[in-house]
Amino acid sequence: MPSSMTAGLHCLFLLITACCQTSQDSNFVPFIQYVIDTALGEESFQSEMQRQKRNMLVFDLPPVEYTVDIEVSLTDSSFLEPLKDHFKNLNLPVLTNISNIEMRISNVSVTTVCLPSGENTSCCTCENGYAWPSEVCSDLTICPSASPAPSLSCSYMREVPFDRPYCKPEIEDSCGMGEPIAMDMSVRLDTVYLDDLSNSSSELYKKYKADLEIAFNDGYRCLPGFVSATVTGFRPGSVFVNYEVKAGAAGFNQIASSNRIVAQFLNPFYQLSPDSFTTKIANQTNFTVSPEDIFEGDTVRLICEINSTSENVTWYHLGQIISTKSVYFVYSKTSRSILEIANVTINDSGAYTCTFTKSNLFHKLVYSATKTVAVSPLYITPNVNDINVTCNSPEMQTNSLLLSCCIDKRLPSLTGDWEVNGAINITGVSSFSENCTEYKLNISESLCPPENSGTVTTYTCELRTGHGARRSQNIRVMYLREAHVTISLSKKSPVSEGLEFNVTCKSDVGKYDSISWKIQSGNNTKTVDCGTCITNDNLAATSVLVVKTATRDWSGTYICTFSQKYLESSANVTIEVVSLPLKQKIQIDPIETPILCRVPQTLQCCISANSMDDYTVLFVVQEKKFHAVKKRNGNLFCYTYNYTETECSKEKKLTPYCKFINHIQQEVNSENITLNLISGEKVSCSDSKGIGIEGSTLITPCCTSNNTNGFIQGNKIYKCSNKSWMLKRDNCLSVAINNLLADAESLVNSPGSRAELPTYLEKLKNMTEMEQNTINNSSANLGAIVNILEMVSSIPADANLNTIQDFLSIVDVIVADSTTKVWEDLNKSDELKSSSLLNSVENFSLNLQPVHNTIPSVCANTLQLQGIVTENSSTNYNTIFRSAENLTVNMFIGTTENPTGIQNSTIVSVMYSKLGHILPQNGTQYVNGLLLTTTVRSSKSQKLGINMTFAKQNLSLKNPQCVFWNFTLNKWGGGWDTQGCTFTEEEDYVNCSCNHLTSFSILMSPDIYSQLIFEDYITYIGLAISILSLVTCVIVESLVWKYVTNNTTSYMRHVCILNIATSLLIADVWFIVTASINDQKQPMSRGICFVATFFIHLFYLCVFFWMLSLGLILFYRLVFILHNTSKTTQKAVAFCLGYGCPFVIAVITIAVTLPRNNYTRKDVCWLNWEDSKALLAFAVPALVIVAMNLFITAVVIIKILRPNIGDRSNRQERNSLFQICKSVAILTPLLGLTWGFGLATIVKNSHRAFHILFSLLNALQGLFILVFGTLWDKKIQEALLKRNSMSKWSSQQTKSSSLILVTPMLAMSYPFSRTFNNLCGKTGKYRVSSSEPSSSSSENTSKSYSLLN
C-alpha cells in the first residue's frame, strides 16, 4: 500500500474502441471491470470507477464500432506511468465475451491525465496526439501550480466532478490547432526609462528584449495554439513594453493566468508591474455594416460581435467617442453591440471602431474592430433638366416627350414615383426599369391654351433606396405655343413723307420674351432700333411702332416678330412712303417783306433738287389759290408766283403760303410768308432787296450758292433806316453746321437711329471743334448745335466710353468762355437756349443704356459723368465730383421707402463747372458752385431724396439758397426754383437736401444785408410812427368833427382826410405783419398770402383814390366857382371813387391772375411782376393819380397867384379855399419828391442816399397826414383848445381848412427804398415792380439746383 504522503485522487481517462453486438440496454460495467482486472489484478486497484457511456448505439447486424471514454481514479500518482505503459503494451485486439456479448477491443489509449489541485479542481493535461476540443477551448484555465519549468506539459484546471469533454484526438478544429492570431500586448516595468531603449541597436535594448522575450515565451506557452511572443518596442512612462503574442483564440482568464506566470520567469530586476498587462485583439470581432451601398438619408446599422463576454462596449467615429446621448442609437449586450445611424449624411462618413473591454486588477483585454463607412449623395440624373416643348407642333402630337430619372447604381430595393405641378396639367404614364424611372407625357394641343403659352410645368421624380434615403429631381417643361400674329396700319399705304402713321402688331399668345421690328426693302433688311418709337404692352401682347415723321427710309415690308424661347412668330405688311417735302425743308422767299398795292411781289418756295418727284405747287393767299411755276435754281427746285395785291383800302398784313401736292393727293404747307401792305407815299427804302417805309423789317432766306445739299437754314433780318436797308441780324448757319443739322433731322427720323448715333456724335464732335470760331461769333450756329443736341438726346444710347465722351465734348466746346457773349445774346430770345442745352444733357443721361450693367466714368474738361446700375441688390449712391478749379460737390442718393437702398435702377450724374454760369441769373444772385444733374431710371417707382455738399466758389458771396432748374417755371424755358429743398451752411460749404431729383446748384449774392439793416430800421420805426400818428389822426378828427365840418368844402376835406388815414392805417398794419413774418423767414400759407396781398393792394389804392377825390374837390371849388353841388352828391362821388374804383381794380386783378397761380410773388406777399405783370394794377393808377394831383396843384397855385376879378366868395369860403391850396401846395410836391426818389432807385448803381430818402419819406406818411392835414389846421387847433378850456369859439374866427394830400405808397418795398420796378435787381422784402422769379415745381420735371443769394 502506498504511504499516506502520496495518496490522492488521480484520474486517468481511457479511450477504448471496441466492436460488439448488443442490445440498446446492454451493461458495460462488467466489460470495464474486466479490462481493469485483466491488466493489473484485484490487489492493485480500488474499484472506485465512475462509468460514462459515450456514443453508445445498439445496432443489429452488422457489428458497430464504439468509442468509450473511461475515467480511472488513482490514489497514488506513482501508478500513473506504469498504467500508461501497461496500456501501451497491450496486445490488441483483445476478444472477450462478457455477459454473452462478444466484444473486440481494437485500441486503448490514455487521453487525459488530471492531478488534484484543490478541493474541487484538478489540473489536467492532454497526452500526445490528443487535444482539448474547441468547445471548451475558451474555458481552459492554466493551473497556477504549474511548474515554471518550460519542459513540462501545460495543464489546465478542470472542476470535479468532470462534466465537460476530455481530450480528443487532434484534428483541425481542436483547441489551438487553427491559424494563430496576433495579440498586441503591453506591460509596465517600474524602472527608469533610458534613451537607449529607443535605439533597437543598443545593448540595453537587446538585453531587455532578450530577457523579456524568454519570460514571455515561457509564460504564454500554455495558451492554446501558442506560437511566439516577440518584443516590438519600448516607450516612456516608467518603461512600457510593447510585445506581440501569437497564439490561438484565448479567453480572458487564460491570458490573465499567463500574465501571472510571466512574472515567475522574469528577473525581479525589471520590476514588472503585475496589474499593468493590456491585451488588444483586433481580428476576432465580427463587424458588419448594412446596407452595403449607403446614401444620404439612409438608416445605417453597424453590428459588432465577439465570441466571449465583455464588460463594456465603446464606439468611435474618426477617433472620437460616440456618446450614447448623441443622435446615434446604440444597443449593446456583453458580446454584441448595434450602432444605428438614422438619416445619415456625408458628415457621417469615415472610420467607425467598436471596442469590447473586459478587465480585472491584473489584466485588461480589448477586442476592437474598424470599418470605414462611405456615404454617397443620392444623385439623380434626369435625361433633361429644362426643356421647351411646342404643344401644337406635329412632332409632339406623334412622338411625345419621355422624361426619366436615373441613379448610377443598381439597387434591388429602389422605388420611385412622379408628381406634376403647373398651370398646364399634362400628365403621362410612369414605368420603372433597373435603376431608372420613366414618365411618358401625353401632350395634346387642347391642353395648351394660347394665354398659357410660356407656362412652366414642373415634373418631380422621387427615388427611394428602401433604407430611408430619398431624393427628388425637378424637370421643368415650358409649354410653348406657336403664336398667331396680326398686323395693321393706322393709315392705308401709300403714305407721304412727313406724315405720321402707326403699325400695330398683336399676338394671341400672352407671354413673350421679345418683340422685334424689321423693314425689308429689296435685298436690304434693317432692324428698327429707334428708341422710343416702339411701345410694347406685355399684358395685351401688342407692339405699336409709331413713325412720327415718315421718310423714304421707312418704305418697305414691315416684319413684326414675337419671340418666345426658340419660337418666332411673325406677320408683315408693306408700306410705301411717297415723296413729299418736309415742312422744314421748304425754303420760302421772302420770309417777311413790305409790299405796295398793285405792285407785283415775287413769292418763291424752293426744295432740294435731289428730289426727282413732280409736285403740284399752289400759292395760297387769302384763301385764293394760284399755280406756281417751277424752275431750277442751282441745287434747288424753286416754285414762283408773282402776286399783286389789289385791295388797297388800308394797310394790312397778308400771310400767303405754298402748298405741295404729290401724286397721291397728299399735301404739305410751307411756313407762312408775311407781306405787310404799305402806302407808296411813305416808301423810304427801295433797292434790290425790296421796298419799305422807315422802320420796316425785311427778312430774307440765306444764300444757298455754296451748299450742294440744299438750302442753308436761317435768315437775314434787315431794318429800313435812313432810306437804306441795314442788316440788323444774320441768323444764317455755316454750311458745315447746316449739314450737321440736316443730318440730325434725318437721324432722329431714321429706323436705325440708335445704331447710327455713335457715328453721328463722333462726326458732330469733330465738326464742332473745327467750327469753334464760327460758333464763338454766331448765336445762330450756337443755337443750331443746341438744337442738334436736343434732338439726338432723345435717342437711347449705349453707355460706351466713346459715345459719352463725344457728347460731353460737344457740350464742353459750346459752353467755353469764348462763347459767353453769344450765350448772352441767345438768352435774350424767346426760347431759352441755355435751358434747352441743360435739358438735352439730362435727357441724354436719362436715356443711357448700361453696357454689361455698368456706366463708365467720363471726364470732358468742364463736364464729368458718373453712374451706377443697381439690380437685385439694394444699394445707395454716393459719389464726389471735383472740377479743374478744385471745386467739389459730394452727393448721396437714398430712398425714403427702402432703408436698404435703391433697387433695379440706373443712376447717372453729370457735373458742370461752366454751364451753370450761362443760365439766366436771379437778379443779384449768382451761381456760386458746381452744377449737378442727376437722373434715375427705375423699373418701379421709388421715392428718392438727394443730399449734396457744394463747395463755394466765391467766399465773399452770402445768403445761400439751394435751387434746381425748373424747366416749367417760365413760358420761355424755366428758371431757378427752391421748392422741396433745404440747406445748411458750414463755412466754405453749403449742404443741400432735396426730396426730388434733377439738376442742382447753389445761388448766392453779395453781402447787402448789412446795408439793408439801416433801411429796415427806418421802415420799422417809420411805420410804427405812422401807425401811431394815423390812430391819433382818427381820434382827433372824431373829437373835433362837429366843429370843423360846418360847410361843404370843409366837410368834404375832412371826409377825405379821415378816409385817407383809415385806409393807410389798415394797409400799413397788413404790410408790417406780412413783412415781419417774411423777415423772420416764417412759413405762411398761400391762402393767407393771397388775402394779405388783396387787402394791401385794395387799401393802398384807396389811399390814392381818396387823395384824388381831395384834389378833385379842390379843383372843382377853384374852377367851377359859381357852380354849387350838394354835399350828398359830392360825398357819393367821393366814396365811389375812393372805395369803388380800388375794389373793382383789386377784384379784377385777382380774378385774372389767381387761376393761373401768378397773383403773388413766391417769396413775398405782393403783386406778381415777372409772370403776370399784376403789379401794373397798382402802379398805373398810382402814377396817374400823382400826375393828376400835380396838375391840380399847378392850377391851385395859378389861381391863388392870379385871382379872378369879381370873385364873390365870402370871406369864410375864401379862407377855406386858401387853406386847401396851402395844404395841397405843401403835400403834392412832397409826394412828387417821394416818387422821384423811388424812380431814382431803379437806376442801376444808384446812390444809397436815394434808397434811404425813399424809405424815410414813405414810412413817415402817417406822420405827414397828422401834422400837415390835421394839427396844422387852425380850426382844429381852436376846437381842441375849446374842448379843453370849455370856452366859446369866436364867431369872427375865420374858418380854415387844411388839406393834407398823403404821399401815395406806390412802392411795396420793404424797406421802402427797395425797388419800384426792379430796384436794381436787389433782394427786398416787398417790391413794386422788380423782376422777381416766380417759382413752381414739378416732380416729373428735371431741375438744376444752385445756391441763391
Q: What are residue 419's DSSP bridge partners? A: 460
Which pLDDT score, from 0 to 100, does residue 1211 have? 61
Query: What are the tens digits of pLDDT across the range 13-26?
Result: 665 655 554 444 44
pLDDT band at 517 (very low <50, low <70, confident <90, very high): very high
- φ and ψ of 723, to 5 deg: 65, 20
Write the pLDDT tens digit of every residue in 398-439.
Answer: 788 889 999 888 888 888 899 999 888 889 999 887 789 999
Is the pLDDT at 187 greater than 60? The verdict is yes
533, three cell numbers: 418709337
Q: Is the confidence at residue 1303, as pLDDT, over 70?
A: no
Average pLDDT over residues 522-529: 88
| Partners of 602 in the β-ladder | 642
Paired sense of beta strands 294-295 and 375-376, if any: parallel
Q: Say which residue, 1293 or 276, is predicted with more confidence.
A: 276
pLDDT at 239: 92
Q: How far apart are CA 497 and CA 578, in angstroms?
A: 6
pLDDT at 1323: 30
Helix (H) or strand (E) holding 1036: helix 1009-1044
Q: What sign does the dihedral 1341-1344-1347-1349 (CA atoms) show?
A: negative
Residue of 16 and 371 predicted with greater confidence: 371
Q: Which amino acid is at 616?
A: T
Burial 1158-1178 (b: 16+ CB within 10 A, else e): bbbbbbbbbbbbbbbebbebb
Q: Do the Cβ atoms of 365 and 358 come closer than 8 Å?
A: yes
* Strand, helix or coil for residue 1233: helix
Q: What angle do CA 738, 741, 742 make, to 5 degrees?
A: 90
186 pLDDT exceeds 90?
yes
pLDDT at 644 over 50: yes
The pLDDT value recorded for residue 707 is 63
pLDDT given for residue 327 in this prediction: 60
Could you report the per-residue pLDDT of 860-905, keeping only the tens digit for each? 989 999 998 887 666 678 889 998 888 999 988 876 545 555 667 8
Please tell me the predicted confidence (pLDDT) of residue 1305.
29
Question: To which residue does cell 412727313 refer?
Answer: 498
pLDDT at 1124 over 50: yes
Other CB atoms within 10 Å distance of the CB of residue 319: 8
Q: What is the DSSP string of 1130-1160?
A: HHHHHHIIIIIHHHHHHHHHHHHHGGGT-SB
pTM: 0.55
> Which of 466-470, 692-696, 929-933, 972-976 is predicted least confidently?
972-976
**Distance between CA atoms of residues 1072 and 1311, nearest Å:** 10
C-alpha span between 921 and 1006 (Å, rounded): 13
Provide the residue type at 981 as one letter: C
For 597-682, strand residue ranges (E) read 601-608, 616-621, 624-627, 629-633, 636-643, 653-654, 657-661, 667-669, 674-678
In order, the DSSP letters of 441-461 are: E---GGGS-GGGTTEEEEEEE
Q: What is the mean pLDDT of residues 1256-1266?
A: 74
What average pLDDT does the segment 456-474 reach? 91
- Evaluate whether 717 touches 682 at the Cβ level (below 8 Å): no
Gap between the Cα atoms of 582 and 498, Å rounded = 5
The pLDDT score that the predictor gives to residue 1080 is 53
Q: Taking every pair of C-alpha atoms in the chain, what is the biggest distance, in angstroms?
A: 212
What average pLDDT does the chain have? 79
Q: Choose between 1239 and 959: higher pLDDT.
A: 959
How many CB atoms neighbour CB 798 within 10 A? 14
pLDDT tens-digit series, residues 827-868: 877 788 888 999 999 999 999 999 988 999 999 989 999 998
> Tell me, what's the pLDDT at 784?
93
Q: Which residues lie closer than 8 Å to 1261 by C-beta, 6 or more apart?
A: 1026, 1064, 1302, 1303, 1305
Bridge-partner residues for 159, per DSSP? 121
Cell of 181: 492570431
396 band by pLDDT with thresholds 50, 70 and 90: confident
Grid cell digits, residue 1268: 400837415
CA dist 716 and 698 (Å) reads: 8
Tens digit of each residue's pLDDT (9 = 90 or more) over 723-733: 899 999 888 99
Phi-psi region of 1028 (alpha: psi -120 to 50; beta: other; left: phi over 0): alpha
**CA 980 to each of CA 670, 766, 855, 1000, 1339: distance values in angstroms, whole numbers, following the listed order:** 45, 41, 28, 12, 9
| Residue-level pLDDT at 871 | 72
3-state secondary structure of 276: coil
Contact 841, 811 (CB under 8 A): yes
Q: Rounded distance, CA 1067 to CA 1062, Å? A: 9
pLDDT digits (tens, 9 = 90+) for 785-832: 999 999 999 999 999 999 999 999 999 999 998 998 899 888 877 788
pLDDT category at 557 given cuts 50, 70, 90 is very high
CA atoms within 13 A on the CB side of 1119: 12
Could you give the percent of the chain with pLDDT greater than 90? 25
Instruction: Measure CA 235 to chain center.
Output: 68
Distance CA 1175, CA 1166 (A): 8
CB 183 within 8 A of CB 279: yes
Share of the chain above pLDDT 70, in %: 81
Peptide bond into 590 cis (omega under 30): yes
pLDDT of 1139-1160, one tens digit each? Answer: 999 999 999 999 888 877 788 8
Q: β-strand 350-359 against 312-317: which pairing, if any?
A: antiparallel
